[in-house]
Amino acid sequence: MPVQERRLNIGLAELLKTETRALHSVAERSVFLAELLSGRMDRPAYCAFLRNLHAIYTVLEQSLERHAQHPMIAPIFLPALWRTCALEHDLRALHGAAWADELALQPSAATYVGRLRDLDAEQPVLLVAHAYVRYLGDLSGGQMMRRVVATSTAQDGAVAFYDFGDGLATQALTLAFRHGLGAMPMDQSRASALAAEARLAFDLHQRLFGELAAACGLTARVRARPMGGEG
């Protein structure tokens, strides 16, 4: 089946998953995420991660709210998914009240924020791709991260970022978001643009992970770890 025809037949959620599968695998193998998922990441590095995510979510969620009545935004307008306040809670608990001034915004996060602002002003439809990458990731893989972080970096329970309620509530939000994607008016041009934007979102995340790893000294730490050992 030609790619263009497939884009209109498999559903938007499945299309975006297919189009970003390879990039998702690359991101999962990044040094930064490997350290986070291993439970080895220290608190300063984790706070640096949350601070950069906060900048991204702030603009994304403000933009989604501004365009809540847009026919492409309305189906996925689910404020229960929003993470800005949860990130602020965790940053205050883990770093302190001055987190916004004391934790650096990485260049790739600034680029990401700029892209979201451009879409807000000119192409709000493409915000859907960024919502897909962030929220479905938080609802799925983020739940595994929650367990790791709760027993390592944030042992005091500051894991509001990953908290969508109990298992049933999390599942309901996942289904609601996927249903919203399926309810959007779609044509080949729009499907292609959303797939390209989702790939860009993954690329921006990969750049951010690389910058955070370097800024937090994780690359050197991995190189220094003995082969076959946890270090």
pLDDT of residue 217: 93
**Helix locations, 80-166, DSSP H:** 84-94, 99-102, 107-122, 127-131, 137-139, 141-151
Whether the per-residue pLDDT at 58 is higher than 90: the answer is: yes
Whether the per-residue pLDDT at 226 is higher than 50: the answer is: no
Q: What is the mean pLDDT of residues 59-65?
A: 98
In the chain, what are the domains?
3-222 (1.20.910.10)
pLDDT of residue 10: 56
pLDDT tens digits, 90-146: 999 999 999 999 999 999 999 999 999 999 999 999 999 999 999 999 998 888 889
Look over the chain and give the mean of its residue pLDDT values, rounded to a whole number. 89
Q: What is the mean pLDDT of residues 200-225?
A: 84
pLDDT of residue 29: 85
pTM above 0.85, yes or no: yes
Q: What is the mean pLDDT of residues 68-89?
A: 97
Q: What is the mean pLDDT of residues 211-223?
A: 81
pLDDT tens digits, 160-194: 999 999 999 999 999 999 999 999 988 999 999 99
Q: CB under 8 Å to 215, separation ≥6 — which residues?
A: 48, 104, 106
* CB 222 within 8 Å of CB 44: no
* CB 32 within 8 Å of CB 145: no
Residue that wins the pLDDT comparison between 71 and 155: 71
